[in-house]
Amino acid sequence: MQALIQNLVNGLAQGSVYALVALGYTMVYGVLQFINFAHAEIFMLGAFGGIFVAGWLTNGEGSFLSLVLVTFGSMAFCTGVGLAVERIAYRPLRHAPRLNVLITAIGVSLLLQNLGILIFGADPRVFPAVIPTQALFDSQNLVINNIQVLVIGTSAALMLCLHWLVRHTKLGMAMRAVSYDIETASLMGIPIDRIIAFTFAIGSALAGCAAVLYGLTYPKVDPLMGVIIGIKAFVAAVFGGIGSFVGAAVGGIVMGLAETLVVYYVSSSFRDALAFGLLIVILLVKPTGLFGSMAKEKV
Amino acid sequence: MGALMGGVMRPVFKSRNRSFLVFGIVFLSLVGFVNCTKKGDTGASAQADLQALVLGEFGTMTGPESTFGISTHRGIMMAVEEANASGGIQGKPIKVISLDDQGRSDEAVTAVTKLVTQENVQLILGEVASSRSIAAAPVAQKYKVPMISPSSTNPRVTQVGDFIFRVCFIDPFQGKVMAKFAAQNLKMKTAAILRDIKSDYSVGLADFFAEDFQKMGGKIISDLSYSSGDADFKAQLTAIKLKKPDVLFIPGYYTEVGLIARQARELNYNGVLMGGDGWDSAKLTEIGGKAVVGGYFSSHYSPKSDKPVVQNFVAKYKEKYNGEVPNGLAAMGYDAARVAIAAALKSSTLAPTDLRDAVAQTKDFEGVTGVISLNDERNAVKPAVVLKVMASNDYEYVTTVNP
Amino acid sequence: MADTHSLFFGDEDGIKTPWQILGFALLVLVLMGVSALIESNINPYVQRIIVNCGIGIILGLSLNLVNGCAGQFSLGHAGFMAVGAYISAYLTTVLMPFGGFFQTELGVGVAVVAGGLAAALSGYIVGLPSLRLRGDYLAIVTLGFGEIIRIVFLNISAVGGPRGLPGIPLASNFFWVYLWAVVTFAVIYRLIHSSAGRAILSVREDEISSQSMGVNVSHYKVVAFVVSAFFAGVAGGLFAHYQGFIDPNTFNFNRSVEVVIMVVIGGMGSFSGAVIGAILVTMLPELLRFFAEYRMVIFSALLVLVMLLRPMGIFGRHEIWEASWLPKLKRKPKP
């Protein structure tokens, strides 16, 4: 029983990170209808950004304030990168066929990975323990630590903020309008380019925060760390219904739990296959995902 | 989607100029390619005339596994620079041609083919990963050029043929060392294994450890796996912890071992952690922190050994690479290159077949990683050391296990 | 059945079968001659690159059928290649049924075809989701299938698991690779210039309209996937018997991306584009050896730049023989 609870907590913490990254995919897909493959690399850059910010705050280690500074630094850095990618690579292709945008996204993702290897080297860096790990609940077979609670709590808070932003602000309304029909929205006077850039900024900032939470849990940062997380988060987004915020959150958590439980109860060798298997099954059974609704494609 | 795409597609061959441009590019790249290959030919044959020693190295210099290749490369270059400082071979400096294989076995084959047939190297050094050594060795064998692998520990590498050597011990020995150490020195009864399913090295070492540990009366009570690149191992570790093994054997690379150790301790697993030479890196304690302290691993050498050859190597390496302590791979690269150079000094002609015979006769060679003698299977017969992880990149020498 | 007939023989310009056989025989002779010349005169390293180009051409042409002609987007070509490589190598190295037959050159040929068939079967399985998915989703699903195939081989110890499968007979060479490249070109070219091919192209142009014109859209999508996977499998088999060693890592996602780059750079939908793209992508890394560290950066930057500056690739949908400065022998009617 305790093992089950332990697995649920572990899966939930892992799933919260997936959910934060998945939100980025889902937001971009919502407004532009394409998979931003480079999102995983923005997540990776966020982790490196966090390392550098923490490096500057040499004396602040261990305090809550430095955690906040590192998180905001990383989020700001990611926002910058996200905006730059959107401006340089995606905006010129706004009216290009979707296939071209997709290929560009793959290209940008590979480019950032390889630039990362060139600049940071392939050897992993260590994410500093901005706040040290402490067990909050500790019995023989069940351990819950402060980082896990922090990860789950922060993710939940960010998702609530996002929900408020999208549902209850003018900006959110504009985002929804763009997502619904980009041309009509532009006729209504909504500055399309600015809204899209804003969407990228939010998605990237979430990735930056996820990267810091991830770095605190797994303090190993390397230029290819985004690849696997990215794929899993994407699967989570599709599972929940791409374009839906609730879907991304639920999908991420389901993904995290499913992985932990499969490894524990079934087999550890097919963990990565699980993500893809889940993806294929959901796409065949219910391509719109759990919460998604897909517009019929027009002729 | 297709209809949309039609919109932006325009005829390509609208004007003459553009099509010429395209063909110009293709043609020029072909010409450039042929030129490059020609240059390589003449360069290498000129070298052969001078009777200088040209060593070829292939390794993973780029991509996710480049850390291993770069460490080895540094070791090799240090050995060659030392030899050149003391006069090279017959007064001529040794040249090294290093090619990258991007961590891909098919690229390794191409790289070795280039080294042998175009650069005309007399001896090849490489690879770290056994799978890439096994892939490329048949080429060296076919063209009868000796190849010395610095650190491919899988037994099948040297079984490819009589031109393939290695200066490291092999996995069955390493597995046995750790099994023996666990069962006899530490008197452990039960062990769990957590292996990296994506790595041939890890899978091989795990199998040999399991076999020997059981032979010595121990019990393997759990054998689980992960894939390199994973970051969360808590599910496997929760399962392992419930079985309470005395030892957790993790034959992986330091990149994951640090995280595994951390999560194991976070979950209150208090058994002994053990592993192989993949642990050997300064990053292990950086990533693993306190969690890896007290773990044991087998390695090729101890940087703290007071042998002059080791002290000289460690000091020079530190001086060259801002104070970094050389890891096992750098030491193996250094030794492999020194064995090759020693063979070249003994051989009269520097022809690959003569070099092969000279390498095969290597006996009691005083290397950084121990005294190297090559046996009939062209494997190095030498002891392994067991190191204990102390705080922050400090290892304590525990014992030496002889073959 | 008229359908299958046009699939293999075409129905456009009625070249009679005897002529085809004669032409083919001539081609085999020429290839044999060139092969002998190359093997005796050219440096083995350059030979190796030429052969790798040939394997790349087969891969590029076959992916072009799905990505260029049928308008689907597959990101799992390495998976089909892996199936072909592993099945054929398993036949010639581990299983070896019928005594020494699979050690002979003919036996290896049979094994390569068997690998192709196995890949075609997996192509059928992957093709099925393409009936319901398009664009990004399909790309991700094919990517997933490719990875699943790789993970499966990683876990089968009979083919070496992560250790790989060594000692595969070195039976493929310039002759076999380029013979298959020509066969690939001929079959896919004929397919596209048949009524089935026009149906495939119509799926690319507008799925809904072609459906309403009576084209069996799902059927032709699956046909494209199966034919494409077959040749990718053959390429894998030839690759395995040229390298002598395969491991799951050889067929990772980067390999699929490489093939996509070949098709994209050449121009999606263009046969000559796929060929030129394959040659460029195979040779560029060798040319850029001096910049080994920048190689992958240059590659990915190239992909982005092509998409931004020349999204149709070098050739667009056109062919080399349509170039205006070539003497106009006989213009093929455009499909």
Size of interface A-B (CB pairs under 8 A): 107
Query: Residue A3 is nearest to which of B224, B226, B238, comparing CB atoms?
Result: B238
Interface contact flag, C140 A238, Cβ < 8 Å: yes
Amino acid code (one letter) for B325: V
Run of H or E residues at A160: helix A146-168
pLDDT in tens, C262-302: 998 888 889 999 999 999 999 888 888 777 778 778 888 88
What whole-number distance in Å separates Cα of residue B274 and Cα of residue B179? 10
Contact indicator for C279, C287 with CB cutoff of 8 Å? no
Give SS3 for C167: coil
Query: Could you tell me if the ipTM is greater than 0.90?
Result: no
In this prediction, residue C297 carries a pLDDT of: 86
What whole-number distance in Å separates Cα of residue A6 and Cα of residue A264? 11
Give SS3 for A158: helix
Contact indicator for C5, C14 with CB cutoff of 8 Å? no
Candidates 3.40.50, 1.10.238, 1.10.3470, 1.10.10; correct CATH number of C2-251? 1.10.3470
In this prediction, residue B47 carries a pLDDT of: 43
Structural domain count, chain A: 1
Measured between beta carbons, which residues in chain C are less than 8 angstroms from residue B19? 323-325
From chain C residues 39-98, the ones with a CB under 8 A of any chain B CB are: 43-46, 48-49, 52, 71
Whether residue A214 is contained in a domain is answered as yes
Beta bridge partners of B100: B59
Amino acid code (one letter) for B263: Q
Contact indicator for A34, A95 with CB cutoff of 8 Å? no
Which stretches in chain C have pLDDT values below 70?
1-16, 96-101, 323-335
Instruction: Search chain B and give the residue with CA nearest A219.
Output: B287
pLDDT in tens, A55-81: 887 655 567 788 888 999 999 999 999
Which tokens hold the place of C84?
A: 């072909």
Contact indicator for B138, C244 with CB cutoff of 8 Å? yes
What whole-number distance in Å separates Cα of residue A128 and Cα of residue A217? 11
Query: Residue A96 is nearest to which of B8, B65, B268, comparing CB atoms?
Result: B8
Q: What is the CATH number of the domain that holds A120?
A: 1.10.3470
Instruction: Search chain A and give the residue with CA nearest C125.
Output: A280
From chain C residues 16-35, the ones with a CB under 8 A of any chain A CB are: none
In this prediction, residue C131 carries a pLDDT of: 74
In this prediction, residue A294 carries a pLDDT of: 54
Instruction: Search chain C and give the residue with CA nearest A268.
Output: C155
Q: Is C156 on the interface with A (CB under 8 A)?
A: no
Query: Residue C71 is nearest to which of B1, B33, B62, comparing CB atoms?
Result: B1
In this prediction, residue B340 carries a pLDDT of: 93
In this prediction, residue B4 carries a pLDDT of: 36
In this prediction, residue B179 carries a pLDDT of: 92
Whether residue A113 is contained in a domain is answered as yes
Instruction: Search chain A and give the residue with CA nearest C146.
Output: A276
pLDDT above 90: percentage of residues in chain C: 35
Which subunits sit against B, judged by 3+ Cβ pairs under 8 A? Answer: A, C
Whether the upstream peptide bond of residue B107 has omega within 30° of 0, thus cis, is no
Interface contact flag, A100 B262, Cβ < 8 Å: no
Residue that wins the pLDDT comparison between A84 and C141: A84
pLDDT at residue A293 is higher than 70: no
DSSP tag of B127: -
In this prediction, residue C50 carries a pLDDT of: 94
Measured between beta carbons, which residues in chain B are less than 8 angstroms from residue C323? 13, 19
Query: Residue C46 is nearest to which of B37, B116, B135, comparing CB atoms?
Result: B37
What whole-number distance in Å separates Cα of residue C167 and Cα of residue B159? 11
In this prediction, residue A299 carries a pLDDT of: 37
Q: Is C162 on the interface with B (CB under 8 A)?
A: yes
Nearest-5° angle of CA B292, CA B295, CA B298? 125
Query: Residue C141 is nearest to which of A34, A92, A280, comparing CB atoms?
Result: A280
Q: Is C325 on the interface with B (CB under 8 A)?
A: yes
Instruction: Search chain A and give the residue with CA nearest B71.
Output: A123
Choose from C297, C299, C302, C305 for mutation: most chain A CBs within 10 A. C297
Whether residue A173 is contained in a domain is answered as yes
Interface contact flag, C239 B106, Cβ < 8 Å: yes
pLDDT in tens, A168-186: 999 999 988 888 888 888 8
pLDDT in tens, C93-120: 887 666 666 777 788 888 999 999 999 9
* pTM of this structure: 0.87
From chain B residues 103-162, the ones with a CB under 8 A of any chain C CB are: 103-106, 109-110, 113-114, 116-118, 130-131, 134-135, 138, 154, 156, 160
Average pLDDT taken over every residue of chain C? 85
Domain that holds residue A173: 2-132+146-285
Which stretches in chain B have pLDDT values below 50?
1-24, 26-28, 30-49
SS (H, E, C) B329-389: HHHHHHHHHHHHHHHHHHCCCCCHHHHHHHHHCCCCEEECCEEEEECCCCCEECCEEEEEE
Which tokens hold the place of C212?
A: 């309403």
Give SS3 for B192: strand
Q: Which domains does chain B have, with CATH numbers?
A: 51-169+306-382 (3.40.50.2300), 172-299 (3.40.50.2300)
Whether residue A25 is contained in a domain is answered as yes
Query: Residue B4 is nearest to which of A97, A117, A220, comparing CB atoms?
Result: A97
Average pLDDT taken over every residue of chain A? 86
Interface contact flag, B64 A121, Cβ < 8 Å: no
Q: Is A279 on the interface with C (CB under 8 A)?
A: yes
Interface contact flag, B154 C163, Cβ < 8 Å: yes
Query: Residue B197 is nearest to which of C162, C244, C247, comparing CB atoms?
Result: C162
Amino acid code (one letter) for B366: E
SS (H, E, C) C182-220: HHHHHHHHHHHCCHHHHHHHHHHHCHHHHHHCCCCHHHH
In this prediction, residue B145 carries a pLDDT of: 94
Query: Residue C324 is nearest to which of B13, B41, B100, comparing CB atoms?
Result: B13
Task: Please give, rounded to a whole number of angstroms, the shortest distance from the CA of A113 to a CA of chain B.
Answer: 10
pLDDT in tens, B63-108: 777 888 889 999 999 999 999 998 888 888 999 999 988 888 899 9
